[in-house]
Structure 1
């Protein structure tokens, strides 16, 4: 009986070893497939950049370097209040323009730009400026208004240098 008992004890140990090899083998296969997929993904990304994406990146970099910044004076505006709450906003803005000629075209129309900004901002409530979505809407609306005020000249972007809402 002891020989049979020893045989039964060895049999489960022999069955457990192949399962362990199967699990380890499957894990190695999964890692190899993941590594191959990553390599394929990374190599295909660099190939596209070499075939023309690099030229696009250089064009964008050249475009960014060719812009000029036109600083506007700081503006302080009382915001529209609900229930007697006095709140105000201090705003310093810069305009991004394509070239120096555009800066020369904006200078005589600066009073129209500031007027358009002031009229719009006086109607804002403090709640309109909460969160990044509120600041983004403000930025887009100021860009639209400045481009209307200086037409046919064109501003690329409105840049906030300082925003204070109290």
Structure 2
């Protein structure tokens, strides 16, 4: 199953929803697709969808999915990473009126350069290629779950231990 989420931003992300629906229609995507379409106005004809899922439903869909396709909002692509998935990230763009600026493009580029743990698709016309080749592409990615909370806690614990030893 493929799970697609566009987050809860109030601007539509029709470009992504329509492209995935077309890939399903054309048989490029053969497995079931479940979409969280948010405020998109394009209504999928070939994929199962809901406007919004509860947080628990989101986690369940991410866990069940073979591939998670998401927009470039950090919460939406971090959740799949926490579940051990390498997400396909299609950032929202200003020129398509999908967001107020291009911060998602910039942010996902920096994330990928730093951690090499996401698949960025800036041109939705190439999305089918990434889906077809997903299994081989993820072998080149860093699948380690980077948990900054754990890193912070470990460093903080060492600082506390050092302070206790000094007193």
Task: Tell me the TM-score range normalised by the shorter chain.
Answer: under 0.3
Q: Which has the higher helix share?
A: 1
| TM-score, L = length of structure 1 | 0.22
**Highest Rg: 1 or 2?**
1
| TM-score, L = length of structure 2 | 0.22
Q: Which has the higher strand share?
A: 1
Q: Quick one: higher RCO (CA 8 Å, sep 6+), 1 or 2?
A: 1
